[in-house]
Amino acid sequence: MRSSTQLDLPAGPRRSLEQHRGPSGAGWRSLHLFALLLGLGGLVCALLLPLAPVWVQRTTVHWPAEQPVSTTAFFAPYRPAEFRAEFDCAPLRTGLARPGNTTVFATVPPRSGRDGLVLTASGGGLRLVLGQRQLELPPPTGDCRLEVVSRDRGSAVTFNGDRTELPGVLPPEVFVFTTDLPPFAAGGIAVTARTYSWFATSPTAVKSVLVAVAAVSAAGSLVLLAVLAPAGRRRLRRPAVGVTDAGVAAVLAGWLFIGPLTDDDGFAMMTVRNHDADGDIGNYYRWFNASEAPFTLVQHVMRLVAAGGLDPAWLRVPSVLAGFCTWLLVSRGIVGPLCPGARRRVLRPTTAVFFLACWLPFGLGIRPEAFVALGTAAVTAALLKAERSRAHLWWLGVAAVATGLTVAITPSGVGAALVVCVFAPRIVRLLSRPGPAAQWLVVSARVALLCCAGAVGVVAMFADSTWNGVKQASLIHHEFGPSLGWYQEVNRYAALLGPGSWGSAGKRVAVLLVLVALPLATACALRQLHHRARMPRVPLLAGATGALFAALWLSPSKWTHHFGVLAGLGPALLAVTVVLLVRAGRRTRPPQQVRVLGVVGGCGAAVAAALAFTGPNSWWLHSDIAMPWSDTPVRPLDKPLLWLGIGAVTALAVLLLTTRHDRSERTGAEGLVWTSAPAAVLATAALASVVVLLGSFSAAPLRMGDRFSVARANWLTARGQGCGLEDEVEVLPLASQLRPVEGTAQLNGFAEGGRPPAEPELRSSGPGQPLRPPGGAVRGIRAAEEVWTSRATGSGTTGSLTTQWFGLPRLRDSQLLAVWVNGRISPGNRLTVEFGTGSGGPVRLVGARELRDPPPVDLPYDDPQHGRNPGWRSFGHWRLLTVPAAQIPAGADLVRLRAADNTVDPQGYLEVSSPVVRDAVPLSRVLDGQRPVLIDWPVSFLYPCRTEYPRVSGGTAQSPLLLVTTPTGERSMAFDPNVGGVFAGVPLVSHRYELPSRLRDAPGVPWGRVYAVSYHHARDAYRTTQHRQQIGGAAGDPGYPFPGT
């Protein structure tokens, strides 16, 4: 029975195009000539786009804006393209008149180590430091004037009419505009700095016309390709949707909610969200906000999606739709045609298992790999269809469009072009078929039309970017990295086999099984077993899959999430290889050839499966909460003997089944005993991976109940009932300090000392109102007035502590008693909160609560051979332990601490603070009170309601007032100048105060941190102006002056 999904009848006896009703011979020649001109015209228009003229918007920063007050000024990149500073005599003389060393003007904070401009006055003279050069200037005389001008080729300093050239001295880095002079004296300073404008471009009318012509020509090319090789009249059958399709769709729909975050979801979405401010898809957090051009196709699609909302589930819809389309292409367009005669009721479910095993770990989210997988599957399916269709030129055109668009997605999209290279000999044969006009004209027209259709990729890449912009973005990416060579591809596999979320068991299964299937299919092809199995085109699929691995070798970064490009051809190869093994075993006589294949393949598949499940079921940050096997191998699936046993049992079962038939029937199945083992191991490992993924990601939110989980947050935000992670986080601002009222502290081995971290003072104007710093400026406070330590003379001290009694007010339900603690409490030491009452006489003890650190949930990998690192847990940091109001005994109006230090190891000390009362309030009240809020890239995807982020545009970044980070704190690439962190100025010009916080009802679960930022100067007190200029696509600002360039 024919598959209902085949839209074309077999090619049958060929007829020349002249036999079709259509134009005469002269008409065909004219049509081919028109096709040639159209194809060449569209191709030329597309190729001209990188160099086409554009409008560039140049931004100039001016200081002072109104009053000359010191201010933050975060430039991205740190150096401007042009810089000019002018000083009248008044500020220079005022600086010299002040005692000591006076900073007249500076672009970097003192002792920052950055290459800025610093002009100081002291000892009757002026000193100008510009980068690494220092100039001593004489005292100003007469009507003096100082001018500093810097450009990419060097700088010049003019003072009292004397000009000093400084060749090679670059414009200064700018993080602040600061002066020690009062505003009335600094009025004679004027600074202008033009930022780099590589990416601030928009199409001119000429370029817009080229884009339109190229796009229309590509569409026209597809039409002409269909006309030049018509499919003929036929009845189209609607593709049948079966139970397997419904199952795949249901799994993907559920995975949309419960599936894991990727490490780049937040990063990728911020590049999209900032487009409205900057007009470009920049990297926002790092790389100087360099453009992602030319690979921005998916981001522009996500811009349209984000216009409908920022809920994570909604933003995941495109990747899920891409996944389902990939499934249809894999099952209908690749596996079906490559396995003729296979029973669909067996083939489809088998393919579905492999597809889900390869797609689920990688395909969900904002990253582009799911779309590359779709594109490569579309290219392969179209090229396979072209060989068996009368409308072969049209299918080649579809493949060309799919190739161009896939290449425009991401660097690994070049795999689609490599797939075309695998099919190149067959494409040449199809293009060389005789036509109704001169052969040179026919072939030239066909090639031109295909190139024009494929040039849509160039249109997608350069419609809103330029050659210079792409070149400069590439140079910045290369300078900061990661930029690894092809010979360092081993780093990707080292990460895949590592113990963290980069190498989770599900990801390993998806890659390692394909790596087993690829040599198996290749070996079958080399021994011609694919012909005996009546699957002659298997080498094409093996070559196409190998091309994707080759594309990964060429990509400059070596992250494991790039393996997601295999989610299209990988499952197709696995399914086809299983069918090939089964058929080869049945049809190969004598079976000697398949014995080695079965033994080696079975052992290889068993080792790959065990190695895959040796990895933890670990996922990115919050997706790992409550995850089974997150810190251990997926036991017992990590045992090689288990998988060898599955292969052996399968072979034995096949042997027993074949012995029921007579010898003549048995002979043809002897080889199947051998090849069934690797086929069974591959299929079972994939099925086990799918079960583990779906089971564990379903179990995790059930474990958490009404507490935070990614699945629960996705479900609530999709229903409009929540704002993601911020709904589940509580901050603990200081409510009141407690005063000692009875007795004195009894110290035995303890002493007063220790320094808990300062925290921001925040207050609200009323119940439910946002928390803001009093007076508008953030300042740090010490919550506890008294602190005691047992390591005043070193960690080898033991002893005991009993504090004085502190007055305890009646706490509201939303309040709690809190103590700062440093050092290890358990095992070995002890810390207890005792409650008493003193009403009517001596203090009477009414209850006690022992304080302990909550059991950790973020555990390191439990290596099967070596276990966990013995020193993995650190107690050498301050942390907050609390007693909820509900656990305070009734009638208690006094509280004290009792501590015992009984250990002498390096972490066996205790430092404790006096107790205080804190409020537990939602994080949203802090976020509402301090704007803009910089939410770090690993977690920003989980804050769909937050739109008050610092804008990055025109070469500058706003100064954030609040930071929300990962559990590791401020160690973010956004603040790291070594990777071009856009907000590298924040730690240089501010103090950050962490506000204690916790995940609601989830002790021990690290959620992140929140910091209030206190700047040393005013924020962003400069003004900017813009003007447009028309330039060519290869023109514009020169490259950034990195050291050594």
Structure tokens at 87: 């000083």
For the chain, the average pLDDT equals 93
Pick the range with the lowest mean pLDDT from 227-241, 331-345, 628-642, 649-663: 227-241
Rounded distance between C-alpha atoms, residue 473 and residue 465, angstroms: 11
pTM listed for this prediction? 0.93
Output the DSSP codes for 325-387.
HHHHIIIIIIIHHHSTT--HHHHHHHHHHHHHHHHTTTSSSSSTHHHHHHHHHHHHHHHHHHH
Amino acid letter for position 610: A
Cα–Cα distances in angstroms (integers) from residue 79 to residues 169, 311, 472, 1029, 1042, in the given order: 12, 37, 15, 21, 10
Confidence grade of residue 233 (pLDDT, cut at 50, 70, 90): low
- Does 1010 have pLDDT greater than 90? yes
pLDDT in tens, 317-369: 999 999 999 999 999 999 999 999 888 899 999 999 999 999 999 999 999 99
pLDDT at 453: 98
Rounded distance between C-alpha atoms, residue 517 and residue 906, angstroms: 52
Q: Are 788 and 750 in contact (CB under 8 A)?
A: yes
Tally of CB atoms within 10 A around 281: 25
Average pLDDT of span 849-876: 90
- Report the sign of the C-alpha dihedral through residues 810, 816, 820, 826, in that order: positive
pLDDT in tens, 535-592: 999 999 999 999 999 999 999 999 999 999 999 999 999 999 999 999 988 876 656 7
- Residues in CB range of 862: below 8 A, 6 or more apart: 631, 632, 633, 868
Rounded distance between C-alpha atoms, residue 372 and residue 320, angstroms: 13
pLDDT at 47: 98
Rounded distance between C-alpha atoms, residue 121 and residue 19, angstroms: 93
Residue 377 sits at φ, ψ, to 5 deg, of -65, -40
Q: Are 42 and 455 in contact (CB under 8 A)?
A: yes
Q: What is residue 1037's three-state secondary structure?
A: coil
pLDDT in tens, 14-45: 444 434 445 667 888 999 999 999 999 999 99
Confidence grade of residue 235 (pLDDT, cut at 50, 70, 90): low
Rounded distance between C-alpha atoms, residue 573 and residue 422, angstroms: 15
Rounded distance between C-alpha atoms, residue 943 and residue 726, angstroms: 7
Q: What is residue 79's three-state secondary structure?
A: coil
Say which residue the tokens 């977690």 belong to.
Answer: 939
pLDDT at 21: 46
Average pLDDT of span 382-387: 96
Rounded distance between C-alpha atoms, residue 259 and residue 462, angstroms: 34
Q: Closest by alpha carbon to 126, among 153, 148, 146?
A: 146
Percent of the chain with pLDDT over 90: 83
Structure tokens at 597: 């294949």
- Residues in CB range of 328: below 8 A, 6 or more apart: 239, 245
Output the DSSP codes for 623-666.
GGTT-TTTTSB-TTTT-HHHHHHHHHHHHHHHHHHHTTS-HHHH
Rounded distance between C-alpha atoms, residue 234 and residue 597, angstroms: 44
Q: Closest by alpha carbon to 503, among 622, 635, 362?
A: 362
pLDDT at 2: 39
pLDDT at 9: 34
Confidence grade of residue 794 (pLDDT, cut at 50, 70, 90): confident
Stronger pLDDT, 1045 or 916, i.e. the higher one: 916
- Does 932 have pLDDT greater than 70? yes
pLDDT at 123: 83
CATH number of the domain located at residue range(s) 57-194 in this protein = 2.60.120.610
- Measured in residues, the chain has a length of 1045
pLDDT in tens, 669-683: 678 889 999 999 999
Q: What's the fold here for domain 733-859+874-919?
A: Jelly Rolls (2.60.120)
Is domain 925-1025 in CATH 3.40.190.160, yes or no?
Answer: yes
pLDDT in tens, 75-123: 999 999 999 999 999 999 999 999 889 999 999 999 899 999 999 999 8
pLDDT at 977: 96
Rounded distance between C-alpha atoms, residue 58 and residue 999, angstroms: 45
Confidence grade of residue 858 (pLDDT, cut at 50, 70, 90): confident
Strands (E), 666-814: 729-731, 734-737, 740-742, 746-748, 751-752, 759-760, 763-764, 771-772, 780-781, 787-789, 799-802, 805-807
Confidence grade of residue 655 (pLDDT, cut at 50, 70, 90): confident
pLDDT in tens, 424-468: 999 999 999 998 888 999 999 999 999 999 999 999 999 999 999
pLDDT in tens, 476-526: 999 999 999 999 999 999 999 999 999 999 999 999 999 999 999 999 999
Rounded distance between C-alpha atoms, residue 692 and residue 618, angstroms: 12
Q: Where do the domains of the chain lie? A: 57-194, 204-233+241-703, 733-859+874-919, 925-1025
Q: Closest by alpha carbon to 896, among 798, 801, 825, 822?
A: 801
Tally of CB atoms within 10 A around 198: 30
pLDDT in tens, 170-226: 999 999 999 999 999 998 999 999 999 999 999 999 999 999 999 999 999 999 999
Tally of CB atoms within 10 A around 10: 9
pLDDT at 8: 38
For 336, left (φ over 0), alpha (ψ -120 to 50), or beta? alpha
pLDDT at 7: 33
For 753, left (φ over 0), alpha (ψ -120 to 50), or beta? left
pLDDT at 659: 76
- Does 308 have pLDDT greater than 60? yes
Residue 266 sits at φ, ψ, to 5 deg, of -65, -40
- Does 234 have pLDDT greater than 80? no
Three-state DSSP string of 434-477: CCCCCHHHHHHHHHHHHHHHHCHHHHHHHCCCCHHHHHHHHHHH
Asked if the domains 57-194 and 925-1025 are classified in one and the same CATH topology, the answer is no
DSSP state of 260: P
Nearest 10 degrees: Cα torsion 531, 533, 539, 544: 150
List strands edge to edge, sheet with 102-106. 102-106, 117-122, 125-130, 133-137
Rounded distance between C-alpha atoms, residue 415 and residue 419, angstroms: 6
Rounded distance between C-alpha atoms, residue 163 and residue 157, angstroms: 6
Tally of CB atoms within 10 A around 966: 18
Rg value, the chain, Cα: 34
